[in-house]
Amino acid sequence: MHKDRVRVRRVGLTGGIGAGKSSVAQMLRERGAVVIDADQIAREIVEPGEPALAELVEAFGSGILHHDGTLHRARLASMAFGDADRTRQLNAIMHPRIAQESQRRLDEAADAPLVVYDMPLLVETGQQDLVDVVVVVDIPVELQVSRAVGQRGLDEADVMRRIAAQATRERRLACADHVIDNSGTPDATRAQVERLWHDLVEGPAADAGRGAP
């Protein structure tokens, strides 16, 4: 099919900690989507020598570093997410840089059939304007906690602090154009992802091929 008949979309993929957003992103990647991972960008911009790392050390102290000068992410998280002012301080350093680099990568991937911006704090940072549609991976809060603790080995108190620092489930869902319910089996989630792919990629492409407006 001719490329200009395919309706290219930017999808903002978001969800709370432990919701399974990365699994959904991988399923979309397997279908052919280009996935831009905000967490990966966040790791890259705090590598030794990067300006963001220097600002974090100035704001939070050298105790957030390992002996080799790399960022101790867990220590920074425990400091930042335990206090609202500290959280805002962290966000002010990180979010503008993440948004700028994400925009650059979104622009680079403009020809892909689907570009997925995998961003945990899409709603909180007001980055919905970077994308055409918002997809929320949703599970109940109690399941968020049990999965984050059981599958990722995180401390329960730390998980609760992170949840409190994120948008509420209700606020996130209010911003959603599509919702993936990830509270069931992997097969059930995959079936929803397949429907989403059809709606966003195959459906518009098929309509264009038939000459639909």
Residue 119's pLDDT band (cuts 50, 70, 90): very high
Q: What is the pLDDT of residue 74?
A: 87
Percent of all residues in the chain with a pLDDT value above 90, rounded to a whole number: 65
pLDDT of the residue at 123? 92
Quick check: is 158 in a domain?
yes
Tell whether 66 is covered by a domain: no
Per-residue model confidence (pLDDT) at position 204 = 55
> b/e for 59-93, b at 16 or more Cβ within 10 A?
bbeeebbeeeeebeeeebbebbbeeeebbebbbeb
Return the pLDDT at 155: 83
What pLDDT does 21 receive? 93
Domain count, the chain: 1
Instruction: Give residue-wise pLDDT tens across range 55-108.
Output: 999 999 999 999 999 999 989 988 888 788 998 999 999 999 998 999 899 889
62 domain residue, yes or no? no
3-state secondary structure of 61: coil
Question: pLDDT (tens digit, 9 = 90+) per residue, 22-49?
Answer: 999 999 999 999 999 999 999 999 999 9
| Mean predicted lDDT score pLDDT of the chain | 88
Residue 58: inside a domain: no
CATH number at residue 176: 3.40.50.300
- What was the pLDDT predicted at 137? 97
Please state, in angstroms and rounded to a whole number, the distance separating the CA atoms of residues 146 and 71: 27
CB atoms within 10 A of CB 20: 21
In a domain, 49, yes or no: no
Q: Does residue 87 form part of some domain?
A: no
185 has pLDDT over 60: yes
**What is the structure's pLDDT at 20?**
93
Model pTM?
Answer: 0.82
Of 47-56, 73-82, 188-197, minimum mean pLDDT range: 73-82
> What is the domain range of residue 129?
3-42+101-209
151 assigned to some structural domain: yes
